[in-house]
Amino acid sequence: MNLRQLEILRAIVRYNTTVATGRALGLSQPAISNALKAMEEQVGFALFQRVNNRIYPTAETKILLADAESIFEIHKRLESRIRDLRDNRAGQLRVVATPPLGYGVIAKSIHVMQIRRPRVRTFFDVKRYEEIIESIETHQAELGFIMGFAEQPGIRSEVMYEGEMICVMQATHPLTELDVITPRDLRRQAFIALEGGTKLGSALRESFEQAEEEFHFSVEVRYGLTACVLADAGVGVAVVDPLTASSAGRFSLVHRPFRPQISVSASVVWAENRSLTRLAHTFLNEVRAVIATQDP
């Protein structure tokens, strides 16, 4: 006996007549009668007793339907899961990001995602650039978010943000009087530098070379968010990417353009041999919306 037959059987028990059952299920009375006859032939015993144009379930039918309730419950949960997956209200998402994006844009996007789709389970980690690529290549994560991605085989990408690095400092710092900050302006200032060897740290050093200024710093840090923490504490000034500066909005920092211009971009990456899920596409839309609101 298949699920449709069980559904008809349960409806007949509920409505007591084949006419009412047909009306409820959108079938004709003859179709219900034929289905009942086929079920009785299939099981080999009577399923109903007929009294005054009404039918009543036999003891055997009651036993069958009691056992079938678990099947209906499983089917109900399956239909609910299908609706959730169709509407992206449930599922799993694995995301990795480098700190400039992970501690700001991606964290905010996950928050929005959880509000709109609370049954979605998100697995999130902040990693270094090389670890992001490895996570994508080995399918440990579906989406990776990084700054300054360089194209490579097996990895697809989309640029989600483009901007320029800026100088951040306390509102009372003397450099706030300038409209633009240059390496020359940082000569006698306590400067918080990004670590050499990192993409942004190397780009920062190249800008000093371009301006023919020696690169001096008071403190060196790996991550822009750490630089913002120190700048907010009055340690000095820092040059960071705009997304990091925006994610550091809880600090009372001001910013100025930095020249020579250092272009930065943020990209999402995923494995070329793996199609993105509908849930991943939904999350990307959330990220795009969050990025559109960023203003350092």
pLDDT tens, residue by residue, 246-282: 875 667 899 999 999 999 999 999 999 888 988 999 9
**Do 170 and 29 share a domain, yes or no?**
no
What is the chain's Cα-based Rg? 32
Confidence tier at 295 by pLDDT (50, 70, 90): low
What is the extent of the structural domain holding 67?
A: 3-85
pLDDT confidence of residue 103: 86
Check whether 89 has a pLDDT greater than 90.
no
pLDDT confidence of residue 248: 57
* Mean per-residue pLDDT, 52-61: 82
**Do 270 and 138 share a domain, yes or no?**
yes
pLDDT confidence of residue 160: 93
**Do 12 and 75 share a domain, yes or no?**
yes
pLDDT confidence of residue 85: 60
Check whether 90 has a pLDDT greater than 60.
no
Check whether 81 has a pLDDT greater than 70.
no
**Do 14 and 74 share a domain, yes or no?**
yes
pLDDT confidence of residue 18: 85
**Do 191 and 137 share a domain, yes or no?**
no
Nearest of 217, 148, 228 to residue 183 by alpha carbon: 217
Q: Contact 254/230 with Cβ under 8 angstroms? A: no
Domain final position from 63, 85, 107:
85
Residue 143 sits in a domain of what CATH number? 3.40.190.10
**Do 143 and 97 share a domain, yes or no?**
yes
Name, in order, each residue with C-beta under 8 angstroms of 100's C-beta and a sequence gap of 6 or more: 147, 200, 223, 224, 225, 240, 241, 243, 244, 247, 266
pLDDT digits (tens, 9 = 90+) for 115-140: 988 888 899 999 989 999 999 999 99
pTM of the model: 0.66
Check whether 144 has a pLDDT greater than 80.
yes
Residue 21 sits in a domain of what CATH number? 1.10.10.10
pLDDT confidence of residue 296: 55
* Mean per-residue pLDDT, 143-166: 93
pLDDT digits (tens, 9 = 90+) for 15-42: 878 888 888 888 898 998 898 889 888 8
Domain final position from 50, 67, 85:
85
Question: What is the separation, in whole angstroms, between the first and last Cα of the chain?
Answer: 65
**Do 133 and 95 share a domain, yes or no?**
yes
**Do 79 and 27 share a domain, yes or no?**
yes
Confidence tier at 112 by pLDDT (50, 70, 90): very high
Q: What is the mean pLDDT of the chain?
A: 88
Domain final position from 37, 63, 85:
85
Q: Contact 259/182 with Cβ under 8 angstroms? A: yes
Q: What's the number of domains the chain is made of?
A: 3
Name, in order, each residue with C-beta under 8 angstroms of 85's C-beta and a sequence gap of 6 or more: 91, 278
**Do 11 and 59 share a domain, yes or no?**
yes
**Do 77 and 64 share a domain, yes or no?**
yes
User: Which stretch of 35-39, 100-104, 210-214, 292-296 has the lowest confidence by average pLDDT?
Assistant: 292-296
Percent of the chain with pLDDT over 90: 51
**Do 254 and 212 share a domain, yes or no?**
yes
pLDDT digits (tens, 9 = 90+) for 215-256: 999 999 998 989 999 999 999 999 999 988 887 566 789 999
**Do 274 and 188 share a domain, yes or no?**
no
What residues pair up with 57 in beta bridges, in sequence order? 48
